[in-house]
Amino acid sequence: MTLEGGEGAGKSTQARLLVAALAARGIDAVLTREPGGTPLAEAIRGLLLTEGEGPGLRTEALLFAAARADHVARLIAPSLAEGKWVVCDRFVDSSRAYQGGGSGLPDAEILALHRVGSETLLPELTLLIEVDPEVAIQRTAARDGDASDRIGGRDAAYHARVAAAFNQFATAEPDRFARIDGNGSPEQTHAAIMAAIDAARWGPA
């Protein structure tokens, strides 16, 4: 299960709340994030998000795919094989939205990298947390101040393209995506997420 959305959507907070709620239901869930989740992937995260010139577009996409491949092989796939749930803050849809929709890399190329690196693994449920641009700006300013990471600090037009890409994916795959209104309080968003999981029959019978 993945949580997706743009900057300021509250994904990390909601991922933590979700894992705690699943534990309360007796479900063993692993909390992880992208890029990251393993030592190698966390090292790549530092290269990708640190302020500065950073890699070019194709190098950026390759680094995200490499981090994800290690993450899948060393953490996600073994956890799933043990019967655990995996709750991941971002996954391949973020690459599709940011390096694809935001930066212009063709979706087919990003999916090709995912096929090679992660054997096309997709979540059974993707929770897309959607917030209004004004809310996102307020939240990221409160969270980061003047210290946004290299990708989060890109301009408003870039992030509008990212949001449009996420909207396109959710529209094209309604069976996988659950759209969550993230404009309210963390508690309201969490309640909407749990309702979406229950509606998808992911919760205990």
Which pLDDT tens digits describe the chain residue by residue (205 residues)? 999 999 989 999 999 999 999 999 999 999 999 999 999 999 999 999 886 677 899 999 999 999 999 999 999 999 999 999 999 999 999 999 999 999 999 999 999 999 999 999 999 999 999 999 888 888 887 776 666 677 877 888 999 999 999 999 999 999 999 999 999 999 999 999 999 999 986 544 4
Q: What is the CA radius of gyration of the chain?
A: 16
Domains, the chain, in order of start with CATH, read 2-199 (3.40.50.300)
Q: Decide if 58 contacts 66 (C-beta within 8 A).
A: no
User: What is the phi/psi pair of residue 73, to 5°?
Assistant: -65, -40
Q: How wide is the angle at C-alpha 116 spanned by C-alphas 111 and 122, nearest 5°?
A: 55
The pLDDT value recorded for residue 146 is 63
For the whole model, what pTM was predicted? Answer: 0.91
The pLDDT value recorded for residue 144 is 66
Q: Decide if 36 contacts 12 (C-beta within 8 A).
A: no
The pLDDT value recorded for residue 160 is 93
